[in-house]
Structure formats: C-alpha cells, structure tokens
Structure 1
Amino acid sequence: MHFDFEILVVIASFTLQSVVSILGLLIWHEFKRLQSKVDILAIHRLDCMNLFPTKESQLRLWTRLDDHEKRLGRIEDTLL
C-alpha cells in the first residue's frame, strides 16, 4: 500500500511538472508574439519621427489623413 502511494506521488509530480512546462511554454510564446508587435510599433514610430520630425509636420500629416477619410466618406455616401 505504501509503495502504491509513492508511485502515485511520483506520477503526480511528473504530471504537474509537465503541465507547468507546457503553460510556461505557452506564456513564453505569447510574450514573444507580443514583443514582436511592440518592436514593429516602435520601428514604425521611429520611421514616422524621422519622416515627420516636428509637431507641425505631424499635425499636417494627421490633417491630410482626416481630409482623406472625409473624402472617402463622401464618396461612400454618394455610392450608397
């Protein structure tokens, strides 16, 4: 009886270790995926900062984008 309990403890510890390892691997993969997205956003931000170094140039860009979206909205309204 004592022998069976020791085997169950060993099996349970290996099972728990496997589950923890799998969860750790999943968390690590999720972290790496998130880290790559953050890296892409950081590179994109640096590119934007290099292309539009001043606040005025950034505001002009956003104004142009807003105007473009408004024009697209008007075109969609006329098509509907």
Structure 2
Amino acid sequence: MMTALIGLSLLQLLTGCGSSRTVYVQVPVVPLPANLTAETQQPAIPEPLTYGASLDLNVSLLSALGQCNIDKASIRKVEALRASQY
C-alpha cells in the first residue's frame, strides 16, 4: 500500500514536467565565401611542350592543386563550424 502511494506521488511529479514547450527558431544559412567556390585557373599547356616547359607546367599544376586543397580544407572548417552551432 505504501509503495502504491509513493508511486502515485511520483507520477504526479512527472506529469508536472509535461507542459514544457519546444520552440524551433529558423537560422539563416550563411553562404560560403566566393573565393572558396571560385574556379581555379588551369595552367596553359605550352606549345611545343619541351622538357623544360613540362617541368614549369608541373610546378603550375601542383600549385593549382595546392590551392584547391586549401579551398577544400577551408570549406570543411566552415561546415564543421556550422555543424557545431546546431
């Protein structure tokens, strides 16, 4: 009998918390900066392609690839920041 009375009083306490209300607020989406989504310039292939010119082309291509990787890393940071805010 005593257990039933304690159970009923606890049940009344739990029903008192049931009136809370959740309100969701719309958050505007912030666009990515234009410099992260801009096209990376493709180096021109010299004509005629000599050995020395191919070495210069390799340097230009690696530089463009490095810039793309920097942009991707920046996009990942922005997305991680957005995910942590929600």
Could you tell me the TM-score, scaled by structure 2's length?
Answer: 0.42
Q: Which has the higher contact order (CA 8 A, sep 6+)?
A: 2
Could you tell me the TM-score, scaled by structure 1's length?
Answer: 0.45
Larger CA Rg, structure 1 vs 2: 2
Task: Tell me which protein shows more helix as a share of its residues.
Answer: 1
